[in-house]
Amino acid sequence: MRWLLLGKTPPPLDGQAIVTHRLIELLKPEVDFIVVRSSPRGPGVRPANRFGLGRSIEVLRYLAEARRTIHYHRNAPILYANFSGTPLGHLRDVLTFLVAIPPERMVVVWPHNAIGRLLGNPIGRRSVRLLSRRTTHWVALNHYLIQELRDLPLRTEQLTIIPNPIEAALIPTEREISAKLADADPVRMLRLLFVGHLIAEKGFPTALLVLEHLSASGIPAQLTCVGTWPSEAEARRWAQWVRRRGLQDRVCFRGPVQDREQLRALYLEHHVLLFPTRYPWELQPLVVLEALAAACPVISTPRGGIPELILSGEHGALVDPENLPDLIRATEAYRDPDFWRAQARNARRYFETHFHPDQIRRRWLELLRGLVTFS
């Protein structure tokens, strides 16, 4: 099958570009994607938060390339992986449909962003509704995103739920999982892991407070933090915070870990992913799926689509991020080796049955083949 794909691909490295690239690789060789990149280009370029002159030129180039490519491959359906929930991103979407995509073309929309904020604005809601009439099908990550689309003029048969895939390199083997379950000892040292941007919205300070309480209670625990600091000043401030509380032997700041083998090893070395995010529009944090794949139960919060990833009491816990005592109690529970091993096994099993790349690949191929056949 040949499809056109309009969307971000690396570089630069951002979540949407990475996920799009993973799908392209996952569906080879059955699907031949002709990609029109909407990402900023050039060495060292970073995603832009607003339209300046340089970004405006990039968008015009993207529109010209999209129009030219769509016209040349006039029989190929389109997977639109660009659809944005931000005003500037939506402006690009409107221009793409007006300038580049003929009204009769099959368009499957694969949104990566929560679009509730855009739909909450009367002008944005009307604009999205008009664009949706030009689309054939929508692929959403979860029911949370489906709910955001409920006001659009879409029929039930135009909506499909398919989660995003994680990288195969981050999925431990069964042998590695068995070794982890046999050797890990949460009583001697409860090893906690935080993965994400080191900012308040992602719950990083809350994870430190949980660790501080465990330490004060005499519970042997360690917290490893993996992620990017928003600034050098913030990195220094939190390093000082850790030293003032005497936690320098309990907290390890690893910074961003790009090497997949190292990241997989970190998930295998730790008992629990502590991810107390406050971010209200969490769609499908891939760190949660990466942890489940490595038999790491996850303590997180009922934000966005997270409740669809974690069965509280089965392979993790969902706790209000403002309720520090409950977060502490949920974390302490994993010191029980039998409790931890049962939940760790459940985590891996749930990943394999719901989020393994093989499952996601099969569902995408069934959808794309079915749409082409039906057309």
Domain range summary for the chain, segments of one domain joined by +: 2-165+356-374, 168-354
Please answer whether residues 136 and 106 qualify as being in contact, where contact means their C-beta atoms are separated by less than 8 angstroms: yes
Q: What DSSP letter does each residue of 130-185 carry, written as one string?
A: HHHTT-SEEEESSHHHHHHTTTSS--GGGEEE-PPPPPGGGS--HHHHHHHHHH--
pLDDT by residue for the chain (375 residues), tens digit each?
A: 999 999 998 877 677 888 899 999 999 999 999 999 988 765 444 444 555 777 788 899 999 999 999 999 999 999 999 898 888 889 999 999 999 999 999 999 999 877 888 888 899 999 999 999 999 999 999 999 999 899 899 999 999 999 999 999 999 999 999 999 999 999 999 999 999 999 999 999 999 999 999 999 999 999 999 999 999 999 999 999 999 999 999 999 999 998 999 999 999 999 999 999 998 888 899 999 999 999 999 999 999 999 999 999 999 999 999 999 999 999 999 999 999 999 999 999 999 999 999 999 999 999 999 999 876
Residue-level pLDDT at 223: 98
Which pairing describes strands 78-80 and 107-109: parallel, antiparallel, or unpaired?
parallel
The domains spanning 2-165+356-374 and 168-354 adopt the same CATH topology? yes
Question: 2-165+356-374 has which fold?
Answer: Rossmann fold (3.40.50)
CATH superfamily label, 168-354: Glycogen Phosphorylase B; (3.40.50.2000)
Cβ neighbours around 250 below 10 Å, total? 19
Q: Quick one: pLDDT at residue 109?
A: 97
Q: Count other Cβ atoms within 10 Å, centred on residue 32.
A: 12
Phi and psi based region of residue 17 (left: phi greater than 0; alpha: psi -120 to 50; beta: remaining): alpha
